[in-house]
Amino acid sequence: MKPDEAQKIEEFIKTLGEEELRYLNRLIIERLKLLHQHRSTSLMERFNVGERVSFTDPSGTVKAATVIRLNKKTVSLVTTGGEQWNVAPGLLRPGE
């Protein structure tokens, strides 16, 4: 976005009342959710059921796993140790 465009938008926002600002906020949140969903779907397409992946768990341990299911927002995995995890696709690495 060009600086002059951003300034025009900022000036326009300053003219809005509370109701209009709440409406604009809802529109922005819906757009952000749509963009996030699109990015998540794109990341999900990198993986297939049966594929070997790795990820780092919250304690910092790297886990090797196999994809068992592609969910709406996460990928279901089973680790070599038999643990089941649901992990966001952006946190997965192929192979290893």
Q: Where are the domains of the chain?
A: 3-44, 52-94
48-86: pLDDT as tens digits:
999 999 999 999 999 999 999 999 889 999 999 999 999
Q: Mean pLDDT, to the nearest integer, of 21-40? A: 93
Full-model pTM: 0.65
How far is the C-alpha of 34 from the C-alpha of 48, rounded, in Å? 23
How far is the C-alpha of 75 from the C-alpha of 29, rounded, in Å? 25
Q: Is the pLDDT of residue 42 over 90?
A: no
Instruction: Read off the pLDDT band of 96 (50, 70, 90).
Output: low
Fold of 52-94: SH3 type barrels. (2.30.30)
